[in-house]
Structure 1
Amino acid sequence: MTLQEVLSALEDDQDDVLGIYIEPPESNVLSDEDSAEEDGGGFIDNLSGRQLRAGAEILVSTQRGECESDGLETSDKRSKDYAALQNFRNLNITAAEMKVFLGILILSGYNNVPSKRDYWDSSGDLPMFRPEEHLDFDECMIEYFGRHPCKQFLRGKPIRFGYKVWSLNTTAGYLVNFDVYQGRNPASNSEYEKMVGKCAAPLLQMLDEIPQEKKNLAYKLYFDNLFTGFELLKELRSRGYGATGTIRENRIPKDCPIMPSKEIRNKQRGFYDKCLSEEDSILLVKWVDNSTVRVATTCHSIQPVAPVWRFSRAEMRNVRIPRPSVISEYNRYMGGTDRMDENVSYYRIGIRGKKWWWCIFT
């Protein structure tokens, strides 16, 4: 549409016009004269022929309510037509419902949550620790590439550089307590370190910090072979807590009448051996899977032995092998810290900082 056509269309009604935007006129014409007096300016009659032939756009104001109403009614009608085309009957959509739907789309654009179901979750965050029977103690890494004496390097981990943190979690990933590894910690308990080692001592300190009304509950703790030892299991049992963890071969007492790992690894897959220390009430189990699995516990037993599916390379098919109950319970409740890392990755804070402590909070 040229400017001349726009002006002709606006001769009768100019009340709603906010402005007219003119494209640059043709530059090939050397001279052109307008039809108005040369002393005047800023009027339509002072426009040259080139300007009248140039393209133009008109900006017209409309009532906002009428525009929204017409758009929603059109969307309502088109939705009903499409539903009839797809054989959906009795689709009653109102303009108010369409407005709510559009609002949900806009809200989901700047409020990101891990899944669509979380948009309808009305439960709030936990204001405090609610006691759960099963707790998981493990280490986690906070990624950090700067310079700091506490930065660690763990080969073979998903996060190799950063701060190492001892974490006490529930099975759902709720962080109960944590302690950043600092090497020589001035707040460490030397008695705990001599009794259970430097790695397991933070666990006893975290249990001491649980409120008194929640400390005397019968918790069941799970940890890996970095922390498990007979002294730790006996100490937790004396406090009224159950404990289960994988254990290293060199931490098993030499007088324990259980089949050595060199002999049990040659057994058929699914074979297990057990040993019970009646004095300490510690059950030690060795089970043959892809490799030998060693577990020590004070709260679980062998029975019931349930079958589990494994792939056999010799037979080239899935086979069922027996698995003791203590192995199943350990696999079920051990992943609390990994679940916490997953939850943190969903709600990662995007603001960056250069301070060494910033990554711990974000």
Structure 2
Amino acid sequence: MDSQQLISQAVNEYDDNSFIRVDDSRREQPADNTCRPIHDPILDRGYNFEAMVVPTRPFEITALPSEPLLLFQQFVPISLVESWVCYTNSWVSHRLEQHEDGTQGLHPQSRLLAWKPTSTAEIYPILTGFKVWTVAQRGYCLRWIWHRPGRKFGPVGVKPTYRRLPSQLQMMRQRRRLRERNTIHLNPTQAVVVALVNLLPKSTYHVFLDNLFSSCDLFRRLRQRGHEATGTARENCGIYKPLVKLKAINNTAAGSLEFNVVEAIPTADNKVNQIAWKDNALVLFLTTVFEGNERLDCIRKKPTTDQMQARPIQRFLGDDPVKQVSIPSIAAIYNNEMNAVDRGGQMRAYWGLHRRVRRGGWKGLSPGNCSCK
């Protein structure tokens, strides 16, 4: 890989203290710069986890603007709309000029020939996909960063500078610099998390993320910025080695752990807690908030499958098809708070202005579904 021949160090434009590295990451696709952290399991551990204590604050409710248009402009300013209009009009004018000059002819039935500034074109499927990094809450997208495809690009605002391997002496100095206590190195994909949180209004946030981003370094960086963090983890993200071995032997129901068993091991600096919870499979978490002994009561249904991985929970529930189970709070809250972007897509599909999906029992009252006896 090029990551073994190149060292990328740059400063994230949104965070002056997060240095970007890709030599300890793996690309998700060979032609793209979306990276997943790859760290060896560690043997060092702590014994007294220092959970972040953030005081609760009441909801701040502000009055709505006097007109709906003013509320819309709070999220989409007029300057942004004007830039969209100017960009669209300039492109159409350019195509029309090419047609008049004969440099690039248009079909006689082309819609551009009948184009007017107030016309509305039909919506066609977009054949090219766009990747956008988004921070969302309850289905509402708060901030986002565009992703530029390509091996040498990546998230907008994260600009690594590539250079060839220096001499041996410079390498020793560089490694010494990497071991500095207050320096945390992230890959470009992890830097997006810090960048998105920094774009939010100044406050304290609890960030939930999946295992694409998770590593102890990222959680330490978020903690330094005053933010809480919770997320699932992979075996190769630099987590405690005995937990990795536990994951290997308990990844299925044939393992030795029973359902709902929890193991919590803090990192050596006691700043990040590493939690393993046995559900159908063993789930690994990283957090700066939960100690592992918090519990919440949730309703669980007995699986009807005959697969091996469902047998521990089937033995736990016994003959009850539904049972109230006290599971770790980190798992219950994580399941409730994650997938905010997907919830936003569902909300737009259900309640959007185009292709609205009607909800409720209206189908049973429609003429085509009525039956008489």
**What TM-score bracket applies, with the shorter chain setting the length?**
0.3 to 0.5
| Higher RCO, 1 vs 2 (CA within 8 Å, ≥6 residues apart) | 2
Q: Greater CA radius of gyration, 1 or 2?
A: 1
TM-score norm. by structure 2 comes to 0.46
